[in-house]
């Protein structure tokens, strides 16, 4: 996470709140396939497993998590698609 995150604008928001493993990571993968390299997907989830699953998915696929936040009732990822 090396970029200035204040000016990052997601192309799309994926709301996975209320969904449980493995659905958030599957939907994240599907949505990442539908955006262009360099674009950012925002993912919202409340499944505790989503944090590790999505971080592992991004590392495995080469996408970059440019921002990660834990809120009171959910977690938020900004994922930049690699080439």
Q: What is the pLDDT of residues 51-81, one digit of tens each?
A: 999 999 999 999 999 999 999 999 999 999 9
Q: 4 falls in which pLDDT band (50, 70, 90)?
A: low
Span 15-38, pLDDT tens digits: 999 999 999 999 999 999 999 999
CATH number of the domain that residue 15 is part of: 3.30.110.40
In a domain, 27, yes or no: yes
Domain that holds residue 16: 10-80
Catalytic site residue from 3, 6, 11, 21: 21
Q: Answer for the pair 39, 62: CB distance below 8 angstroms, yes or no.
A: no
Cα–Cα separations (whole angstroms), residue 44 to 12, 32, 47, 83: 11, 14, 10, 23
Residues 38-53, mean pLDDT to the nearest whole number = 97
Domain count, the chain: 1
Q: Is 21 a catalytic residue?
A: yes
Please state the φ and ψ torsions of residue 63, each to the nearest 5 degrees.
Answer: -75, 155
pTM of the entire structure? Answer: 0.90
């Amino acid at each position: 996470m090396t970029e200035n995150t204040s000016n990052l604008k997601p192309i799309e928001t994926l709301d996975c709140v209320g969904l449980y493993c493995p659905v958030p990571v599957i939907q994240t993968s599907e949505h990442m396939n539908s955006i262009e390299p360099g674009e950012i997907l925002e993912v919202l989830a409340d499944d505790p497993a989503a944090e590790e699953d999505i971080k592992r998915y991004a590392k495995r696929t080469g996408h970059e998590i440019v921002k990660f936040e834990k809120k009171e009732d959910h977690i938020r990822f900004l994922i930049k698609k690699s080439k």
